[in-house]
């Protein structure tokens, strides 16, 4: 069961309409290293985790990623909601507009729709945790590229928070991997 | 959203973020009792601040986790993506 809280995990403020920035940030909504992929990856891997700490970590980080998805959606929504059509065309967002108007949809920065092939759920907890550590690093890199591309200091502030969370999640997955190794070693010798 | 409401909301956001971060840490360090005490202190402050906010501005959570005395205020705007910080 999940409940909804009528609040963001971190404040979102934008300097003004900026469809060019929205076009690249949307990749963290529906792109290969985005928050939808992250959340669904962890929430679907948790069922076959062998130890209680791992089940908790995947449930809790998977849930936090849903909150990050909401932050990214809020950024994109506010960057395009008042953007004039001329600006949308100049930003190369006219193809997106043709299919979605100013609505939110799960695509990467070049418009390709989200696909389950972005994620894996392998059953082997060591394999899955390595995948998750790599995923956190890929998301960290993406946020760094987005910060480089951003010309809006308020947006950059929110992107920096999201980047920082990738670092923390990577750390927690690494600790979980060590705990799983310890568990497997115990199973082998006793 | 007036500044009094916004400040209370920001306080809730800060306290809950503290809880999120301690929660993840405790998942892999369940025997760290100093961290556990910090988590419980933040959790208590969070509950008190949410109660204060909800009495003034309506429920923050759905499905029975927050009461809605007198009127059904859950549907009231602004939603999180409409809030101006």
What confidence tens digit (pLDDT) does each residue in A16-64 have?
A: 999 999 999 999 999 999 999 999 999 999 999 999 999 999 999 999 9
Domain that holds residue A46: 19-111+123-189
On whether A169 is known to bind a ligand per the annotation, the reply is: yes
Q: Is A68 annotated as a binding residue?
A: yes
Candidates A1, A2, A5, A162: best to mutate against B (most CBs of B within 10 A) is A5
Chain-chain contact of A11 with B63 (C-beta, under 8 angstroms): no
Say which CATH number the domain at A24 has.
1.20.1260.10
Q: Is residue A12 situated within a structural domain?
A: no
CA distance A51 to A128: 14
Which residues in B lie closer than 8 A to residue A79 (C-beta atoms)? none
SS3 state of residue A22: helix
Choose among A3, A13, A64: nearest Cβ to B20. A64
Which tokens in the block code for residue A106? Answer: 């799960």
Task: State the Cα–Cα distance between residues A149 and A69, nearest whole angstrom.
Answer: 20
- Number of folded domains in chain A? 1
Helix (H, G, I), strand (E, B) or coil at B1: coil
Question: What pLDDT shows up at residue A190?
Answer: 57
* Domain assignment of residue A101, yes or no: yes
Asked if the structure places residue A29 within a domain, the reply is: yes
Give the phi and the psi of residue B38 in degrees, each rounded to 5.
-65, -40
**Residue A58 counted as domain residue:** yes
Q: Which of B23, B62, B63 sits opposite A60 (nearest CB)?
A: B23
pLDDT in tens, A92-129: 999 999 999 999 999 999 999 999 999 999 999 999 99
**Cα–Cα distance for residue pair A148/A165, rounded to 1 Å:** 18
pTM of the predicted model, to two decimals?
0.97
Q: Judge: B16–A9 Cβ closer than 8 Å, yes or no.
A: yes
Task: Sort out which chain A residues have CB atoms less than 8 A from B63's CB and list them.
Answer: 3
Residues of B in contact with A8 (CB under 8 A): 13, 80-81, 83
**Tokens 């909601």, residue located:** A81
Question: Is residue A162, in this structure, part of any structural domain at all?
Answer: yes
Query: Does residue A182 fall inside a structural domain?
Result: yes
Q: Which residues pair with B61 in a beta bridge?
A: A5
A9 lies in some domain? no
Q: pLDDT tens-digit profile of B4-37?
A: 999 999 999 999 999 999 999 999 999 999 999 9
């Amino acid at each position: 069961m999940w409940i909804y809280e009528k609040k963001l995990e971190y404040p979102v403020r934008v300097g003004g309409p900026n469809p060019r920035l929205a076009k690249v940030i949307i990749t963290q909504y529906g792109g290969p290293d985005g928050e939808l992929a992250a959340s669904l990856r962890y929430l679907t891997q948790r069922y076959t985790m062998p130890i209680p700490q791992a089940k908790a970590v995947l449930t809790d980080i998977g849930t936090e990623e849903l909150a990050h998805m909401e932050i990214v959606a809020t950024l994109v929504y506010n960057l395009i909601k008042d953007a004039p059509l001329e600006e949308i065309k100049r930003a190369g967002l006219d193809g997106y507009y043709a299919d979605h108007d100013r609505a939110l949809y799960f695509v990467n920065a070049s418009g390709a729709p989200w696909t389950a092939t972005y994620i894996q759920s392998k059953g082997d907890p060591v394999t899955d945790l390595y995948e998750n550590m790599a995923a956190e690093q890929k998301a960290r890199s993406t946020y760094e590229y987005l910060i480089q591309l951003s010309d809006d200091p308020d947006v950059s502030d929110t992107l920096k928070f999201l980047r920082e969370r990738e670092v923390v999640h990577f750390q927690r997955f690494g600790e979980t991997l060590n705990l799983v190794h310890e568990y497997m070693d115990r199973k082998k010798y006793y | 959203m007036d500044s009094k409401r916004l400040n209370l909301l920001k306080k809730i956001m800060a306290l809950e973020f503290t809880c999120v971060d301690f929660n993840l840490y405790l998942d892999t360090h369940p025997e760290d009792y100093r961290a556990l005490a910090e988590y419980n202190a933040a959790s208590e402050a969070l509950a008190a601040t949410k109660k204060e906010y909800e009495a003034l501005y309506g429920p923050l959570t759905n499905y029975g986790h927050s009461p809605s005395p007198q009127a059904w205020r859950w549907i009231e705007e602004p939603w999180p993506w409409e809030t101006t910080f």
